[in-house]
Chain A
Amino acid sequence: MTETVLTYADWSEALREGELLGQKCADCGNVTGVPKAACPECGSRELSTTNLPEKGTVYTETTVAVAPEGFEGGYKVGIVQVGEARVLGRLDSEADIGDEVVFADVFEHDGEPAPVFEIRQ
């Protein structure tokens, strides 16, 4: 494969620019929400970078009250179905399973980003 495989650096830079990048497998068609060197379903290295939809549906969520060192408790973390992939990130405190949300912002912790999803207006 000649195309450069999506890296963490590419993914996080794009996230900060408001783009959710994923990968699509040329062999089995599987779409994954975060970069890998090979398809987690079939092992193929024929992966192309793809733009994931900004709008999605909450698959599951929880409000973390007891937080790790370096975080303040009381935030919501969840997994969002965006198109064919799922992505984990911070969620609007009102977002429940099944709610429509949109990728709206980036949460930064120690220079490392996580996507933030808000309820679709």
Chain B
Amino acid sequence: MARATVVGVDMTKFGVHDSKLPELFADAAFPALDDAGVTQDELDAFYFGNAMSGLAENETHLAPKVATHMGMTDVPFQRFEDACATSANAFKNAVQAVDAGIHDTVLVGGVERCTPKTGMDTPEMTRVFASASHRQYEQPSGLTFPGVFALLTKRHMHEYGTTEEQLAEVAVKNHYHGSLNPRAHFGKETTVEDVLDGPIVADPFRLMDCCPFSDGASAVVVTNDELGDSFDGEGVDVTGVGHGVDAVPLSDKASLPETRAARDGAKEAYEDAGVTPSDIDFAEVHDCFTGAEVMATEALGLIEDGEGGPAAEEGRTRLGGEIPVNPSGGLKAKGHPIGATGTAQITELTEQLRGDARERQVEDARAGVAHNLGGDSGTTVVTVMEERA
């Protein structure tokens, strides 16, 4: 029996949006409710994700504002914040609540505005993003988020010989996938040469190794297994959820390239679902930087340790390859509106497993995994979804 069933999904295009946070969220959430064929009064709870609006837009206690905007002030709401893993954690909690019989049907989603529409330029937003690193023992050094993942990636390069060209191949692949996704922030392909010609952000990362600052929203409707066939939207089963954690600051993690939280989260999710990595047909992983995808594919057991770079180079993780990774374009090309990313991954898994992903459809997709990490990888939520039994 499935933990829960997703019966409705949608997301806005990720990119630059003029609309305000509640408006932007409604642009994803109403289509998701319509996909499921449910109205607000049929919802038992609203689990809402947003990471940065307190810092970026002077917006706290955002869930009631969003709920009021959407005409659902009778639905108990709560907000989640776990940096970039914000809405994956909201989703995990919704799945567990539905599985435990606490709620029947829950709206889950997230919204974020990170582009200069918030009024913040790159140095200011870089400071806001750095708020996820340790306040006393990391921030005073001037560590940035590209810097955090650069520290992880350079150690991976040192231990395994991963090259800058291999990192660039991840960007090239995800831009190709993004070019097939009409909701992607970046719809254009790129080349290894173009990536390697870009300006350095934090070495080894150049501009095109980094995901963009994006605005956007995503939402999904989760119900219990028993009700999974009673909605308009074709149900897709959530069969496993794992939540791995690790110490913050980085200096207290035993190993940086292993991303232990992802390994623990994956083990828990696979065991929960009764699957092994070889049963997985595709993955949406948290490629905030190219090196993060390399480490994620290894931590999820989809690629052998140390082979994440060569795998990207050899096309093993490309659409049509042995294990397509980030068919949506990933954070790299689809975009990364922080609090919206987790449920955007669930949206992609659902569309792929329904066979609705059009040009970017993974052939014979029956089982997919989503990997959404928060902060310096200290929080990682892993979700396994499968075609409805």
Contact = CB atoms under 8 A, between A and B. Distances in A.
Interface stretch (B19-27, B109-117, B250-258): B250-258
A4 to B, nearest CB: 18
A73 to B, nearest CB: 9
Contact of B142 (A33, A79, A97, A109): A109
A43 B142 CA distance: 30
B142 A62 contact: no
B333 to A, nearest CB: 20
Contacts of B200: 63, 65
Give the secondary structure class of B's interface.
helix
B66 interface: no
B140 A61 contact: no
A79 B136 contact: no
Contacts of A90: 141-142
Interface string A84-108: 0111111000000110000000011
Given A62-B151, A63-B202, A86 B252 contact: yes
Given A34-B136, A66-B201, A69-B127, A79 B147 contact: no
Contact of A40 (B136, B143, B202, B252): B252
Give the secondary structure class of A's interface.
strand
Nearest to A33: B251
Interface stretch (B152-160, B220-228, B269-277, B366-374): B152-160
Contact of A88 (B144, B152, B155, B251): B251
A23 to B, nearest CB: 11
Nearest to B246: A40
Contacts of A108: 140
B299 to A, nearest CB: 17
A32 B252 contact: yes
B126 A68 contact: yes
Contacts of B158: 60, 97-98
A114 B140 contact: yes
Interface in B98-149: 122-124, 126-127, 130, 134, 136-144, 146-147
A93 to B, nearest CB: 11
A54 to B, nearest CB: 16
Interface of B: 122-124, 126-127, 130, 134, 136-144, 146-147, 150-152, 154-155, 158, 199-204, 247, 249-252, 256
Given A64-B147, A65-B200, 9 more contacts: A62-B151, A64-B142, A65-B199, A69-B126, A77-B151, A88-B143, A88-B250, A107-B140, A109-B141
